[in-house]
Chain A
Amino acid sequence: MRREIPMIVAFLAGVIIILEFFVPMLRDVAGQIQQWYLVVVAFAILVGAFNLLRINYMKVRDRRADWPYSVVLIAGLFAMAIVGIFWGIEQGTVFDWLFNYLMFPMSSTMFALLAFFVASAAYRAFRARTVDATLLLVAAIIVMLGQVPIGSIWVPAGWPHSLIFLTPDWLKDRIMEIFNTAGQRAILIGASLGVVSTSLRILLGIERSYLGEE
């Protein structure tokens, strides 16, 4: 029963949500299911926070590699939760201050490190070894130039309109609108078909990995 009941719930909920599009009288039931989903998701966040705490507590307790980072994580988790629950999260509160002056700059810094690694990776791995690699390399350079103001600085004010196709801006727009859009659409359609097929497999009980099965 531990397996059958969740499968029946998933089947009924999924079928009602799909049928809602065709049978208007199911709209209220579907709306109710969606409200339940929002409540379940809220609880899932609590479960996630508890699990994060449990894993990091065990890491500290067993003195596993990098355990001091887990101490920082636990301290941060409790500090933010306590100041948020007791003093609020609105503008001007301690929570707001911690968010703006600790969380914000630290997260931004981590993401900003990407610029250094991208530069280094581009230097070491971007080689015109084959025709495909050369095409990719040329397209990347055009898009990088067209994306920033410096790319159009060298184009003089009276540049003839008939030669506009030689400017990085124009070339970048064409690469993005034609080649990129075509590729992205193909990926989107493929991924959507995958979502449909996986959803059907879940509803029909063929795909059971969400129950913890292999």
Chain B
Amino acid sequence: MKFVRWLADIDRRILFLLIAVAVVVPLIFPLGMRVKVTTQAQNIYDQVESLPAGSRILVSFDYDPAAAPEVHPMALAFLRHCFAKKHKVIIMALWPQGAQLAVSAMAEISREFDIVYGRDYVNLGYKPGGDIVIKSLGSSFPKVFPTDMAGEPTANLPVMARVRNLKDIDLVMDLSAGDPGIPAWVRVANALYQRKIAGGCTAVSAPQFFPYLQTGQLIGLLGGLRGAAEYETIIGYAGKASRRMDAQSIAHLVIILFIIFANVSYFILRRQRAEKGEGPKAGPSASA
């Protein structure tokens, strides 16, 4: 019974330590567990595959470094796929730090592919305004982005040559960690301009986008690290997301065990109190 009481009132630092071990050990000694590909990820892959080489794909980096461990690997996997298929990529950001994250992503990708800035891809940088930016892109790209991130006029860049407005974009991939993000692209670029939208987001925000998947307003969705690992699996690239899924697996398992142990101790103590004729007690402190 002493053990059950200890379990119920366990010091939260022990929980923190167990979580740290559960995350760090699989990162050092990978287990190589394979993630199953969902239709949401497969649909995005199929869409990119179905486009003819040279198609214009708009990738919006709408996240910040806080969400980057989850979202950045999917950006890298998606960009790898786009360049492998010889598509032209137009990068922009509705989040201030998104454009700089795109710089980091392209620094990594440009080492692996024979791509030239201005010919194969462009980084238009950050533009504040959310929905209105997207709405304005529906009328004119050059008006919203007269220059790229480095100040070069977009009219001089071959990759932008036949891009007048959103209708010239074959696919939009929004990598989002909040607002403005996927809902803005769906309600403007899809609803008003009938563009195909694919999404990538943090795991915690993925459930709210399922209605868009069911209606077809989103062609596919990469949710959290798992979504990134799925895309890496489809393109056959063992990247960071696939490696980190081992850590996430063990961490989830540990949290589930915590919940089971906590409930077992709760019920044992509750029965004990009932036998002694004491009133119900809330159990262990509810503070996190």
A-to-B contact residues, CB < 8 Å: 27, 31, 34-35, 37-38, 41-42, 44-45, 88-91, 95-96, 99-100, 103-108, 110-112, 115-128, 137, 140-141, 144-145, 147-153, 169, 173, 176-177, 180-181, 184-185, 187-188
Contacts and interface: CB of A to CB of B under 8 A. Distances in A.
B132 A38 contact: yes
A111 B214 contact: no
23 contacts: A34-B136, A38-B133, A45-B128, A89-B100, A89-B149, A91-B104, A107-B66, A115-B19, A119-B258, A120-B15, A123-B258, A124-B287, A125-B288, A144-B256, A145-B252, A148-B226, A148-B245, A149-B33, A149-B245, A150-B33, A150-B253, A184-B207, A184-B208
Interface of B: 10, 12, 15-16, 18-20, 23, 33-36, 38, 64-69, 96-97, 100-101, 103-104, 106-107, 127-129, 132-133, 135-136, 139, 143-144, 149-150, 203, 207-211, 214, 224, 226, 245-246, 248-256, 258-259, 261-263, 266-267, 283-288
A150 B35 CA distance: 9
Contacts of B12: 120, 123-124
Contacts, number: 176
A180 B210 contact: yes
A26 to B, nearest CB: 13
Contact of A110 (B66, B144, B208): B66
A126 B262 contact: yes
Contact of B65 (A108, A121, A141, A152): A108
Contacts of B23: 115
A24 to B, nearest CB: 13
Contact of B266 (A95, A121, A127, A145): A127
A103 B65 contact: yes
Nearest to A40: B129
A90 B133 CA distance: 23
Contacts of A140: 259
Contact of A103 (B97, B210, B251): B97
Contacts of A88: 150
Nearest to A90: B150
A38 B226 contact: no
Nearest to A148: B249
B254 A119 contact: yes
B69 A112 contact: yes
Contact of B214 (A118, A173, A177): A177
A153 B267 CA distance: 30
Contact of B129 (A38, A90, A99, A147): A38
Given A89-B100, A103-B97, A150 B128 contact: no
Given A91-B103, A121-B288, A122-B258, A176 B252 contact: no
Contacts of A153: 33
Nearest to A150: B249
B34 A149 contact: yes
